[in-house]
Amino acid sequence: MNTAFLRAAALSALVLSTAARADEPQTTAWRILADLTTEIGPRLPGSPREAAARDWAVARLSALGLANVRSEAFPIQGWVRGEEQSRLTAPYPQALHITALGNSAPTPAGGISGELVYFPSFQALQAAPEGSLKGRIAFIDHAMRANQDGSGYGPYGQARRQGPSVAAAKGAVAVVIRSIGTDHNRDPHTGVTNFAKGAAAIPAGAVSNPDADLIARVARTGKPMQLALTLTGKPQANLPSGNVIAEVPGRDPSLPAILLGCHLDSWDLGTGAIDDASGCAIITDAALRLRAQGQPLRTVRLLWAGSEELGGFGGQAYAAAHADQPHALAMESDFGADRVWRVRFRLAETNRPLADRVAAALAPLGIVRGNTVANGGTDVEPIIERQKLAVIDLDQDGTRYFDLHHTPDDTLDKVDPAQLEQNVQAWTAVLGIVANEPGPLGGQ
């Protein structure tokens, strides 16, 4: 109970009162975040709203005086949401709150129905005999809990990422999972799934945690369960997407640049405040504060990536388009807007003194040094891997991130201006060192 207690204490100290908006912060970070979520809102990869967001971003970044602002288009294999309904029809009739996963195949417009088979975990589903789900609908439960470092998302997220593919291979006609989330609201969490090559794509959805609790309770009675399911969302090829790029030019253009990543697209259920308008807000405000301290030695390039949510397409497109340009170091902000609590590095051994200086600059902000290797994030990983770049991770407190991630609840009111500001200060402190470092920067 203590963990839950502390966690929610932290959570709700941060949720702003709606009446407090008269004292809204006027930082660049807050204005980007508030205006993007208000004027554009949801911006699904490949959608007209993602395109509107690119136009918005180009206009805003230009208005802020950044250099070389441009949009770089690429096509994606997209997915469009449709109608979403589900009901337990036996043994007890109950409406369920469901949302389709990205890449879900469509049901017929009238829906399907079938026996619902309960699996307490992804591993239990894996252990089911081949063919045992023929004509049935699989339900995958899990026990993800909130962690500060978000480390539950990897293992428990298998239910979403691989569960539908595994269920399809065993004959299931559809799959429903407990949302990959840690809240207790009736708002299900969407997110992408992928079907293995050769596996049939089937309809795949997530129910909210209280709905999953209900299914688990009914499953414990041993009575057969029947589910009716309508999910008409479906893949759509060749949709337009794109990255937006902007720069603070350095004094020495011959030095490899510092690359800062975030993503502009969002899932369509919320307004993409914590995922990831806040990341774009943080890196942009930090770059501008760096510039305000005098022109940096190295160029700082901002990558507001497109179509991260459906498969990291923006980061891949960036790496392919910019493979011949030298980069020195990459960083990414894509884990909400709560405070940075840890810094981690991927630097050549010769850069240990640089890492020490960065860590020392962050200590007054309450940030500790981690001893595992930094990895960047989806939008910068492709260029990191291709060019073996140095990486610094500013790890944010993720304790409440998966309460909100990929849900309708990802809205502006969830961002705490004080923690957003701490992020900007941390990024500014790091940039002040690495963007003015004349010596070589290299990954491990």
Amino acid letter, 29: A
User: Toward a second copy, which CB reaches closer, 301 or 406?
Assistant: 406
Residue 326 token pair? 């030298």
CB atoms within 10 A of CB 290: 23
Give ∠ CA 393-293-348 in degrees, rounded to 5: 35
Q: Is position 55 an interface residue for a second copy (rule: CB under 8 A)? A: no
Residue 87 token pair? 């009901």
Residue 175 token pair? 């799959």
Residue 435 beta carbon to a second copy: minimum distance, rounded to whole angstroms: 34
Q: Mask: binding to a second copy, 117-156, rule CB under 8 A, as x and -?
A: --------------------------x-x-----------
Q: Is position 217 an interface residue for a second copy (rule: CB under 8 A)? A: yes
d(CA 437, CA 141): 49
User: Toward a second copy, which CB reaches closer, 6 or 368?
Assistant: 6
Residue 313 token pair? 């397409």
Taking CB under 8 A as the criterion, the residue among 157, 414, 420, 423 binding a second copy is 414
Q: Which stretch binds a second copy (CB under 8 A): 197-205, 211-219, 281-289, 375-383?
A: 211-219
Return the sign of the alpha-carbon dihedral for residues 5, 155, 383, 321.
negative
Residue 314 beta carbon to a second copy: minimum distance, rounded to whole angstroms: 23
Taking CB under 8 A as the criterion, the residue among 190, 243, 266, 271 binding a second copy is 271
Beta-bridge partners for 117 = 138
Q: Mask: binding to a second copy, 160-199, rule CB under 8 A, as x and -?
A: ------------------------xxxx------------
Backbone phi and psi for residue 325, each to the nearest 5 degrees, phi listed first: -100, 135
Q: Is position 233 an interface residue for a second copy (rule: CB under 8 A)? A: no
Q: Is position 26 an interface residue for a second copy (rule: CB under 8 A)? A: no
Q: Which stretch binds a second copy (CB under 8 A): 208-216, 354-362, 387-395, 422-430?
A: 208-216
Q: Is 149 exposed, middle or buried (0-12, 13-18, 19+ CB in 10 A)?
A: middle
Q: Mask: binding to a second copy, 60-99, rule CB under 8 A, as x and -?
A: --------------------------------xxxx-x--
d(CA 78, CA 240): 9
Q: Supply the angle between the helices 352-362 and 417-434 in degrees, to the nearest 10.
A: 150
| Coil vs helix vs strand at 229 | strand
Residue 114 token pair? 């079938």
User: Toward a second copy, which CB reaches closer, 12 or 238?
Assistant: 12
Cα 344 to Cα 37, 336, 358, 425: the distances in Å are 30, 18, 10, 17
Taking CB under 8 A as the criterion, the residue among 32, 40, 310, 389 binding a second copy is 40
Interacting residue ranges for a second copy, rule: CB under 8 A: 1, 4-5, 7-9, 11-13, 15, 17-19, 21, 34, 38-42, 49, 92-95, 97, 143, 145, 184-187, 209-210, 212-214, 216-218, 220, 270-271, 407-409, 411-414
